[in-house]
A and B are shown apart, each in its own frame.
Chain A
Amino acid sequence: MVIHFTCNGKPVTVDVDGDMRVLDVLRDVLDLTGTKEGCGEGECGACTIILNGKTVNSCLLYAGKLQGAVVETIEGLSGDSAGLHPIQESFLEEGAVQCGFCTPGMVLSTKALLDRHPDPSIKEIETALSGNFCRCTGYGKIMKAVVSSAEKLRDSREDGHQSGTGLGVKRG
């Protein structure tokens, strides 16, 4: 079937079986290999993408569901320039990346969280990342990276005269 959708801000058209996995549409058809496969059954989150503003496992999503949708992948985050997104910066600064296989998914789950909750509690961060498994880091530095990403993004919003709570991270 012919499917039109928006991928990383650009209109895309693909002609694939409706039951193709979106993971394969991205990796094999569009050559966006930053989205990873770790289990193929919705458990590990390595294949996380943002679909219409919400994270989903692209390994469980059928291509037909993309019709008219807006998709963000890791490739869309830093754009074409070498500049990193503040979340990516924080992941590097805090040492939240070891093998890096879980990282694209972690970064996208973080982005989807911070887009909605600029000032998340520790609990909200845990919940938002509970579908992204990491075997290398033990997660502590990932938590720190999310907290510092939130701070960075709030600061940049304030600089842009937008409202931010500026309260820092709530504990709880």
Chain B
Amino acid sequence: MAEHTIIGKSVRKVDGIELVTGKAKFTADMKFPGMLYGYELRAGVPAGIIESIDASEALKEPGVHMVLTAKDLLGPNLIGVLPPFDQPVLPDREIRYAGESIALVVADTREGAKRACRNIKAVITPIEPILTMEQALAEDARKIHPQGNVTFSRTLTKGNVEQGFAEADVVIEGSYTTTFQDHCYIEPEIACAVPSGDNRITLYVSCQSPFHIRGHVAANLNVPASKVKVVQAYTGGSFGGKDDAAVEIGILAGTAALKLGRPVTIAHEREESIAGTNVRHAAEIAYKTGARKDGTITARQVKVLLDGGAYASESPFVTMKAMIHASGPYAIDHIEVESTSVYTNKTYAGAFRGFGVPQVTFASESEIDELAKHLGIDPLELRRKNGLKAGDKTATSQVYDQSVGYLQTLDAVEPSLRETGTKENDGRYLYGTGIASVIQGISNGAEGVDVVGASVQMSQDASVLVGCGLAEMGQGSRTVFSQIAAEVLGIPVDWVTVRQVDTDAVHDSGPTVASRSTTVGGMAVKQAAETVRQSLVKMASLMFKTDESMIVLKEGFAVLTVDDTARIPLRDVATAAYWTGFPLMHLAFSQAEPADFDHDTHQGRVYIAYNFGTHLMHVKVDRYTGEVEVLKHVASHDVGKVVNPMAASGQVEGASLIGFALGHMEKVEYKDGIIQNPTFADYAFPSIRDRIPTETIFVEDPTPHGPYGAKGIGEPPVAAAAAAFANAVSQAVGHRFTHIPITREDIAAVLQEEV
């Protein structure tokens, strides 16, 4: 393959200057004349019936313009991810979680709206809440939704587990649990709706799936989608969390703005962000694993229960994803995974970086270590023996003949394992090393069609504008798209601008999820740029009076292959192309190969590719206090091709810290259905002093389905880091922890007897 000039280089973030100077406009930075502010009144009880809401006192307060309740909404008052939608924008009767909004106050200031909320008299008859999955699944349980308390349930069947267990010499079983984690992006959810006078509404919003929002907002404002324009403002992190919440406040702000004819902003406070909007599913997972004495895993049987809280949100897809990934990156003949999400009266769970994979990976990799112990086999060797290779069948019996770099990720961490594995405990401190592997599907896969539209438009001066419906949320997709366009067109990266996502101007590209930006989005940008390139090459060949094959585009010039000094500036080529009538803009669609599988057994083609990874953590544990210091963290991932090493390692480092926090620190704590720690003071968000020393090692086993062979990397480190942490601490303490987070307190409780 030809040498790349821009792909594979640590290009600086293309939209970085506006961010470091504070000039980038986030939604809260946009001001419009006559702007009003909305604040939501929340239920405060986890389950109940709204008898009445009397806003008359609140409306009397100076500066208060409106109070919206369910009856004032303009549309079906229903949102969700998969039909039949189950979530009201504002409930008209039943309250299903304590953080649920039941009214919106609109006032001159946010403080005024917040104060007025206190003067709304909501009469609510509490109902006995259902707070655990066990309660929800009890036979005589009250139904949180008419269809019952099971949100979604599926089973994956490969081979026959009974036969697999019969072939095994040892069978081990374990139960594992995980808790709710909040996204904690530093910018809380915010939306600003501006009526534009031409019967349209423009919504500036911090989000990750602008078209999803447009659809829901239009439906709930009862207007055609074309009447709503969603502009994704600079977005201060999302990680999966700014879909549902953005829809909810987008509709509320839009409704108020339409009714009042004035711009309305709703900005969540931190407490609302934690208690009111979606979180990562808590899980209860049971594993049964059978293996032969030589370490060959013959069967895995898994039961996954996911606590999805009050509404479905992304639960169905998370349930599927957990199911498909539960058996890990191993070639196992007999697999059965039953995966179920459940309604409870808690804040709803939805998409969060990793999407069901971290929960099952923690459980699966803990169990693999237990199996290794049982068999007396080195944990890395056990993984190597069973690890997926090109040509092997995945859990869905899909076969990839390339881009299965799992074993290389094991090789990558092996030296660190041998080096740290022998550290002796001393007096107060215990040392341990753990590894954990992850497999994570790239693309929407089983979750739906996967099409991205991208446009590339060159001006006469050879500068380029790229448009794509996928959102930049900090993960660097603008930079990757710029690199791809620049590589194809032979121009410097800074000639490329990737425009803001504006639903008026770019094509619906589905949600920005599933680590698909680089892979599927990058492919569309590449195709569009290649078509524009054809016009340039054709024009240059006319100008040089030579064959098209004699021309390369590089460094902003059209250059003759045979004479590097024969150059025409691309701006001249572009200008000539324009006047000749050669098209300089193209809209391309890239479609990931659609999933094709049996809907009973879930056997078949699911994802276009998998990212594979192995992490190693080496920890030091204080046996008095349970404090843990991560002395070494190696993260190895097969990403196909590294498009931008700096950006990619940044993704690994950021995702790893979220995984570490999931494994060690963070939990949303409930008491009687009310979240007790909805602030950063009490929610243990890691500070810079809690960071871990991540070293990233990339393995490059290219996939034909991504640009230049690239696979996404945004999500997989979360799962691997959490699981490696659990294995390392379990090894250090000499006790298998079956619940994450494994807090200092949990560790100290186990060591209680010893000091």
User: Do A and B come into direct contact in the complex, CB within 8 Å?
Assistant: yes
Question: Which residues in A have some Cβ–Cβ distance to B below 8 Å?
Answer: 27, 31-41, 43-44, 46, 73-75, 77-78, 82, 84, 88, 91-95, 97-104, 107, 126-127, 129-143
A46 to B654, CA, bound (A): 18
Which chain A positions have C-beta within 8 A of B688?
A: 126, 129-130, 132, 134, 139, 142-143
A-B contact count (CB 8 A): 174
Shortest CB distance A103–B (Å): 5
Shortest CB distance B62–A (Å): 15
A103 to B19, CA, bound (A): 7
Shortest CB distance A121–B (Å): 13
Whether B475 pairs with A98 at a CB distance below 8 angstroms is: yes
Which chain A positions have C-beta within 8 A of B26?
A: 33, 36, 101
Which chain A positions have C-beta within 8 A of B650?
A: 95, 98, 136-138, 141
Whether B21 pairs with A84 at a CB distance below 8 angstroms is: yes
A103 to B688, CA, bound (A): 14
A78 to B19, CA, bound (A): 12
A41-B681, A92-B20, A97-B19 in contact; A139/B658 too (CB < 8 A)? no
Smallest CB gap from B20: residue in A:
A88
Whether B12 pairs with A138 at a CB distance below 8 angstroms is: no
Whether B657 pairs with A101 at a CB distance below 8 angstroms is: no
Among the 9-residue stretches B525-533, B547-555, B576-584, B691-699, the one with 4 or more Cβ atoms under 8 Å from chain A is B691-699
Smallest CB gap from B472: residue in A:
A99
Shortest CB distance A104–B (Å): 4
A98-B654, A135-B239 in contact; A75/B22 too (CB < 8 A)? yes
Whether A135 pairs with B186 at a CB distance below 8 angstroms is: yes
Which chain B positions have C-beta within 8 A of A99?
A: 19, 185-187, 234-237, 473-474
Q: 1/0 contact trace for B648-667 toward A, CB 8 Å?
A: 01100111111000000000
A41-B679, A99-B237 in contact; A141/B653 too (CB < 8 A)? yes
Smallest CB gap from B655: residue in A:
A138
Whether A140 pairs with B693 at a CB distance below 8 angstroms is: yes
Whether B654 pairs with A136 at a CB distance below 8 angstroms is: yes
Which 6 pairs from chain A and chain B are nearest by CB?
A: A34-B22, A99-B474, A100-B19, A101-B236, A138-B653, A43-B680
What are some 21 contacts across the A-B interface (CB < 8 A)? A27-B28, A36-B28, A38-B188, A39-B270, A41-B679, A44-B186, A91-B20, A98-B650, A101-B26, A104-B20, A131-B687, A135-B237, A135-B239, A136-B654, A137-B654, A138-B650, A139-B657, A139-B688, A140-B653, A140-B693, A142-B688
Flag whether B25 is at the interface (Cβ < 8 A).
yes
Most chain B beta-carbon contacts within 10 A, residue among A44, A74, A78, A126:
A44
Flag whether B24 is at the interface (Cβ < 8 A).
yes
Interface of A is mostly: loop
Given contacts A97-B16, A103-B22, A138-B657, 9 further A-B contacts (CB under 8 A): A38-B236, A94-B646, A95-B12, A100-B474, A101-B26, A101-B237, A135-B183, A135-B184, A138-B650
A93 to B650, CA, bound (A): 12
A33-B28, A43-B680 in contact; A107/B689 too (CB < 8 A)? no
A140 to B185, CA, bound (A): 17
Smallest CB gap from B12: residue in A:
A92
A88 to B18, CA, bound (A): 10
Which chain B positions have C-beta within 8 A of A74?
A: 21-22
Flag whether B476 is at the interface (Cβ < 8 A).
yes
A18 to B66, CA, bound (A): 29
Contacting A at CB under 8 A, from B689-724, are 689, 691-694
A88 to B658, CA, bound (A): 25
Whether B653 pairs with A35 at a CB distance below 8 angstroms is: no
A38-B186, A46-B186, A137-B650 in contact; A100/B16 too (CB < 8 A)? yes
Q: 1/0 contact trace for B231-253 toward A, CB 8 Å?
A: 00011110100000000000000
Smallest CB gap from B657: residue in A:
A138
Q: Which of B16, B23, B680 contacts A92 (CB 8 A)?
A: B16
A100-B16, A100-B24, A126-B689 in contact; A138/B236 too (CB < 8 A)? no
Whether A95 pairs with B13 at a CB distance below 8 angstroms is: yes
Which chain A positions have C-beta within 8 A of B22?
A: 32-35, 73-75, 103-104
Whether A140 pairs with B237 at a CB distance below 8 angstroms is: no
Whether B25 pairs with A33 at a CB distance below 8 angstroms is: yes
Give the interface residue-count category, chain B. 35 or more
Whether B689 pairs with A92 at a CB distance below 8 angstroms is: no
Which chain B positions have C-beta within 8 A of A98?
A: 13, 237, 474-476, 650, 654
Shortest CB distance B411–A (Å): 24
Shortest CB distance B597–A (Å): 34
A92-B16, A100-B474 in contact; A34/B21 too (CB < 8 A)? yes
Which chain A positions have C-beta within 8 A of B676?
A: none
Flag whether B52 is at the interface (Cβ < 8 A).
no
Contacting A at CB under 8 A, from B9-37, are 10, 12-13, 15-26, 28-29, 31
A143 to B25, CA, bound (A): 26
Q: 1/0 contact trace for B244-278 toward A, CB 8 Å?
A: 00000000000000000000000001100000000
Q: 1/0 contact trace for B452-479 toward A, CB 8 Å?
A: 0000000000000000000001111000
A172 to B263, CA, bound (A): 52
Which chain B positions have C-beta within 8 A of A37?
A: 28
A91 to B251, CA, bound (A): 37
Shortest CB distance A113–B (Å): 12
Whether B13 pairs with A39 at a CB distance below 8 angstroms is: no
Shortest CB distance A125–B (Å): 8
Flag whether B330 is at the interface (Cβ < 8 A).
no
Q: Which of A44, A103, A137 contacts B20 (CB 8 A)?
A: A103
Which chain B positions have C-beta within 8 A of A134?
A: 186, 688
Flag whether B647 is at the interface (Cβ < 8 A).
yes
Whether B654 pairs with A43 at a CB distance below 8 angstroms is: no
Shortest CB distance B636–A (Å): 16
Whether A140 pairs with B694 at a CB distance below 8 angstroms is: yes
Most chain A beta-carbon contacts within 10 A, residue among B20, B239, B679:
B20
Shortest CB distance A168–B (Å): 20
Whether A135 pairs with B185 at a CB distance below 8 angstroms is: yes
Shortest CB distance B182–A (Å): 10
Flag whether B348 is at the interface (Cβ < 8 A).
no
Smallest CB gap from A87: residue in B:
B20
Contacting A at CB under 8 A, from B429-488, are 473-476
Which chain B positions have C-beta within 8 A of A127?
A: 689
Which chain B positions have C-beta within 8 A of A40?
A: 269-270
Flag whether B685 is at the interface (Cβ < 8 A).
yes
A130-B689, A135-B237 in contact; A101/B694 too (CB < 8 A)? no
A39 to B650, CA, bound (A): 24
Which chain B positions have C-beta within 8 A of A129?
A: 688
A32 to B31, CA, bound (A): 12
Smallest CB gap from A134: residue in B:
B186
A78-B21, A135-B186 in contact; A92/B13 too (CB < 8 A)? yes
A44 to B271, CA, bound (A): 13
Smallest CB gap from A75: residue in B:
B22
A142 to B236, CA, bound (A): 17
Smallest CB gap from B185: residue in A:
A135
A35 to B237, CA, bound (A): 17
Shortest CB distance B128–A (Å): 33
